[in-house]
């Protein structure tokens, strides 16, 4: 008994608009800048969180990205 092969259905591809992407780009930009702050500048006088926990947690990333440390 032969089974007919169903034709492949390709979903319609709609192009993304800048309007649709803009809020996500802003959100991820803010998240990346926050992460960059914690990796690059969260120590000493610019520290928002007291103690060394954040600095120690991101210490390897700090050296990997070339920020001055110690
Ligand atoms: Zn270091």
- DSSP output for 46-59: G-SS-SSHHHHHTH
Mean pLDDT to the nearest integer, 3-27: 87
- Does the pLDDT of residue 57 top 80, yes or no? yes
Assessment of whether the complete model's pTM goes beyond 0.75: no
C-alpha 30 – ligand 1 centre gap (Å): 25
What are the b/e assignments for 33-46, b being 16+ CB within 10 Å? eeeeebbbebbeee
C-alpha 19 – ligand 1 centre gap (Å): 41
Determine the pLDDT at residue 1.
64
C-alpha 65 – ligand 1 centre gap (Å): 11
Looking at the chain, the whole-number percentage of residues with pLDDT higher than 90 is: 23
Determine the pLDDT at residue 67.
85
Determine the pLDDT at residue 23.
96
């Amino acid at each position: 008994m032969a089974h007919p092969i169903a034709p492949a259905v390709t979903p319609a591809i709609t192009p993304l608009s800048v309007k649709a992407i803009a809020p996500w780009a802003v959100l991820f930009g803010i998240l990346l800048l926050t992460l960059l702050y914690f990796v690059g500048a969260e120590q000493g006088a610019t520290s928002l969180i007291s103690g060394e926990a954040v600095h120690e947690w991101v210490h390897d990333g700090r050296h990997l990205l070339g920020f001055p440390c110690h």
